[in-house]
Amino acid sequence: MSLLDRIDSPADLRRLTREELRALPAEMRERLIAVCSQTGGHIGAGLGVVELTIALHAAFDTPRDQLVWDVGHQGYPHKLLTGRNTRMETLRQESGISGFLKRSESEYDTFGAGHAATSISAALGIAAARDLNGESFKVAAIIGDGALSCGLAYEGLNNAGHSERDVVVVLNDNEMSIAPNVGAMHKYLTSIQRNPLYNRVRRKLGEIADNAGVAGTLLRRWEESAKAFFTPGVLFEELGFRYFGPIDGHDVDLLVDTFTAVREMTGPRLVHVVTQKGKGFPAGEHGEKWHALPAGHDPATGKQIAVSSAGPTYTKVFGRGLTELGAIDPRVVAITAAMPSGTGTEEFAKAHPQRFFDVGIAEGHAVTFAAGLATRGVRPVVAIYSTFLQRAYDNVIHDVAIQKLPVVLAMDRAGLVGEDGETHMGLYDIAYMLAVPGMTVTAPCDGRELLALLRSATLHDGPFCVRYPRATVPDAVPPTAQIDATPYGTWDVLRRGKEVAVLAVGTMVQPALAAADTLASEGLDVTVVNCRFLKPYDEVTLAALLAEHRQLLVVEEGTVVNGFGAYMANVVAQLEPTVRVVAHGVPDRIIVAAPRARQLARCGLDAAGIAERVRALHESEAVAG
Ligand SMILES: Cc1ncc(C[n+]2csc(CCOP(=O)(O)OP(=O)(O)O)c2C)c(N)n1
Ligand SMILES: CC(=O)[C@@H](O)[C@H](O)COP(=O)(O)O
Ligand SMILES: [Mg+2]
């Protein structure tokens, strides 16, 4: 029986000998690499924290002690040790175990996440509740160096350091975000890693003081002030943390001993652990390459086995189009919040390095930084996933919209996102953007229209957002120079019928047309409109539709609550109250991991679901009429 098979819970792990603990990482890596080659997922981060995870569960009394993992994408080894080893094949699958950590999945998952930098705040909250309740246990937040580029992390550190509460922060420093990490803090951490002198001097001072009797007291005082010069983590010390490190994050003995000692202490302390992202991946330890891999890849090379024949993704089309636009219009700059590959902006970075900004995992800052640029005639395009832009909502309103600044928000992964599940759903941007005064809200129906809207966006004198999905484009896309801007505020009537009019948004245009074909074969003639501008809407086209139809079905890949359907219902109620408007979007519930196509079908957002909804609407009107 393998060591891993003997571990049902961390209590079993704590019964292993040191020798066995040292042998365990190899088994865990082998298992993770095999599982992920089938399921896909965030392999790199987990491979980097195998020893760290073993040591934390060995030294802390989990689940009584609370481990709060940041983001949760590095949580696969934690799953292996906390009773989920036999279910790993279901990772990221529908009804399987999550690709992140979830309170509902395990008592060892103390705080769910998916977005970066929540761990310190959450851990401090847990520690404060413990103290209020008079309980006794330890709390540790495990946060990556990339997540330390988030403002939220500093809010947590600031509060924790001042609180003097018993809380541990483990900084997992692999010098990587998804891409290589950026920023001044990254530079600082790297300088600590590269300067072992810091550590040696401090250790020596401590030893001298310990052996020097009364004189030692003076030496200790001197040590305190010298610390400012010699302590590697002086910044953290000044914030109120006792700093330990940097320590080798792949040395099981050192990690277990350090955490065992640190656990016994009190007050805020920070352990700086240096790890290698992707450690042990057979094709080499290249952090970014193995951040996440698709399902069905070769475990030896990381390459996808069955290569899809589908067209390029919207992301790819956007990246290429933005790069071409950058060549046409020198005012255009691109901004990413730590996701150059995910947003496709890496292509722009190569072509126009002076006009490319990776600001770290700092979505709020990215938007306000863009607003600053826009005050000086620059045309910033901020490319952020819809879900992560939620972090920047105040910046969108306060810094961009109120000042009517021409900032373009390119919202990738808008809609249902598949296997990443509930934390990454881009379902709220239509609702939250429609609520912003002066914001132009758009959604393309294909790749060509994405680039046409991008052109409109950079020509428009005010805030402008464009949302597009985690999907491939339906047709080939010509170069940007051959694509005209979409006329501002217009819709496109794609099919004319007498009965229901379907107002389709973005990704819903193709299935609405397919539904119209099916319905036509049943003798039901519907109109299909591509509502590429959600706000402002096309007043002329809407007036014509209201003159010819008694029922409008608004179809959108976003929450049905306060979405475009609700918006249109309100508009039509003012203009023509006798016309019925029905909103058809994602229902008001949490959508969990599954393939995107299945999520769409479950929500009735495929051709069959749309046809069904049109039939029901038509029949209800026939009964009423
Ligand atoms: C608010 C937010 N923005 C962006 C992301 C996308 N994202 C996921 S992991 C990651 C990098 C995190 O780096 P780090 O914290 O160092 O963890 P590592 O992957 O290196 O272990 C990013 C940018 C996110 N999860 N949350
Ligand atoms: C962990 C995280 O937040 C990202 O890695 C995210 O999972 C990327 O999603 P995509 O796969 O859609 O780029
Ligand atoms: Mg990192």
Over residues 422-450, the pLDDT tens digits come to 999 999 999 999 999 999 999 999 999 99
46 Cβ contact partners less than 8 Å away, ≥ 6 residues apart: 32, 73, 74, 75, 76, 77
CA–centroid distance, 216 to ligand 1, in Å, is: 45
Q: Are 534 and 393 in a shared domain?
A: no
318 falls within a domain: yes
327 falls within a domain: yes
Q: Using CB atoms within 10 Å of the CB of residue 15, give its burial: 0 to 12 exposed, 13 to 18 middle, 19+ buried.
A: exposed
Q: Are 115 and 251 in a shared domain?
A: yes
Q: Are 414 and 425 in a shared domain?
A: yes
Q: Are 219 and 353 in a shared domain?
A: no
Looking at residue 217, its pLDDT comes to 54
pLDDT of residue 198 exceeding 70: no
Q: Are 451 and 478 in a shared domain?
A: yes
Phi, psi of 246 (to 5 degrees): -75, 140
Q: Give the confidence band of 211 by pLDDT, cuts at 50, 70, 90.
A: low
Cβ–ligand 1 distance for 144 under 6 Å, the answer yes
Q: Are 438 and 477 in a shared domain?
A: yes
194 Cβ contact partners less than 8 Å away, ≥ 6 residues apart: none
The whole-number average pLDDT for the span 313-342 is 98
Q: Give the confidence band of 193 by pLDDT, cuts at 50, 70, 90.
A: confident
Q: Select from 347, 281, 329, 397 the least CA-distant residue to 47.
A: 281
Q: Are 71 and 177 in a shared domain?
A: yes
Q: CATH no. for residue 570?
A: 3.40.50.920
Task: Please state which of the ranges 80-84, 316-320, 476-480, 603-607 shows the lowest mean pLDDT.
Answer: 476-480
pLDDT of residue 279 exceeding 90: yes
Query: What does the block give as tokens for 180?
Result: 């290589």
Q: Are 174 and 200 in a shared domain?
A: no
Annotated binding site: 73, 114-116, 145-147, 174, 281, 363
282 falls within a domain: no
Separation of alpha carbons 351 and 355, rounded Å? 9
pLDDT of residue 273 exceeding 80: yes
Q: Give the confidence band of 64 by pLDDT, cuts at 50, 70, 90.
A: very high
Using CA positions, which residue lies closest to atom 19 of ligand 1? Answer: 45
Query: What does the block give as tokens for 343?
Result: 């947003």
Is the ipTM reported for this complex over the cut 0.90? yes
Looking at residue 222, its pLDDT comes to 45
Among 150-154, 199-203, 620-624, name the most confident range.
150-154
- Number of domains the chain contains: 4
Using CA positions, which residue lies closest to atom 7 of ligand 2? Answer: 420
pLDDT of residue 543 exceeding 90: yes
Question: Which residue blocks in 134-212 are alpha helix, DSSP H?
Answer: 151-163, 184-194, 196-210
Report the sign of the C-alpha dihedral through residues 597, 600, 606, 611, in that order: positive
DSSP assignment of 106-148, as one string? -TT--S--SSTT-HHHHHHHHHHHHHHHT----EEEEEETTGG
pLDDT of residue 72 exceeding 80: yes
Separation of alpha carbons 116 and 121, rounded Å? 11
DSSP assignment of 93-106, as one string? STTS--SS--TTT-
Q: pLDDT tens across 562-584, in order?
A: 999 999 999 999 999 999 999 99
Looking at residue 212, its pLDDT comes to 61
Looking at residue 218, its pLDDT comes to 46
Residue 420 CA: distances (Å) to CA of 501, 596, 606: 34, 10, 20
304 falls within a domain: no
pLDDT of residue 478 exceeding 50: yes
Using CA positions, which residue lies closest to atom 25 of ligand 1? Answer: 115
Looking at residue 195, its pLDDT comes to 73
Looking at residue 194, its pLDDT comes to 80
Cβ–ligand 2 distance for 470 under 6 Å, the answer yes
Query: What does the block give as tokens for 387?
Result: 């879900």
CA–centroid distance, 149 to ligand 1, in Å, is: 10
Relative to the CA of 115, which ligand 2 atom is closest? Answer: 3
Query: What does the block give as tokens for 215?
Result: 């004189």
Cα 286-292-295 angle, rounded to 5 deg = 125
Q: Are 264 and 209 in a shared domain?
A: no
80 falls within a domain: yes
Of 231, 258, 284, which residue constitutes the final position of a domain? 231
Q: Select from 502, 478, 508 the least CA-distant residue to 568.
A: 502
Q: Are 93 and 215 in a shared domain?
A: no
Cβ–ligand 2 distance for 292 under 6 Å, the answer yes
Whether residue 316 contacts residue 469, with contact meaning beta carbons closer than 8 Å, is answered with no
Relative to the CA of 291, which ligand 2 atom is closest? Answer: 5
Using CA positions, which residue lies closest to atom 21 of ligand 1? Answer: 45
Q: Are 475 and 525 in a shared domain?
A: no
Give yes or no: 29 in active site: no
CA–centroid distance, 178 to ligand 1, in Å, is: 6
Looking at residue 396, its pLDDT comes to 98
| DSSP letter assigned to residue 79 | H
Beta strand pairing call for 356-358 and 580-586 = unpaired
Separation of alpha carbons 232 and 198, rounded Å? 6
CA–centroid distance, 186 to ligand 1, in Å, is: 14
121 falls within a domain: yes
pTM of the shown model: 0.94
Looking at residue 201, its pLDDT comes to 58
Cβ–ligand 1 distance for 177 under 6 Å, the answer yes
Give yes or no: 79 in active site: no
Amino acid present at 169: V
Q: pLDDT tens across 7-45, in order?
A: 999 999 999 999 999 999 999 999 999 999 999 999 999
Question: Which residue blocks in 460-538 are alpha helix, DSSP H?
Answer: 509-521
Q: Which long-range contacts (CB under 8 A, 24 or more apart) does 592-595 make?
A: 592/94, 592/98, 592/421, 592/422, 593/92, 593/93, 593/94, 593/96, 593/98, 593/99, 593/418, 593/419, 593/420, 593/421, 593/422, 594/93, 594/94, 594/418, 594/419, 595/94, 595/418, 595/419
Cα 87-293-47 angle, rounded to 5 deg = 65
297 falls within a domain: no
Q: CATH no. for residue 329?
A: 3.40.50.970
Q: pLDDT tens across 101-136, in order?
A: 999 999 999 999 999 999 999 999 999 999 999 999
Query: What does the block give as tokens for 524?
Result: 């039901």
Residue 16's domain comprises 4-193+234-274
Give yes or no: 277 in active site: yes
188 falls within a domain: yes
CA–centroid distance, 275 to ligand 3, in Å, is: 9
Q: Are 529 and 606 in a shared domain?
A: yes
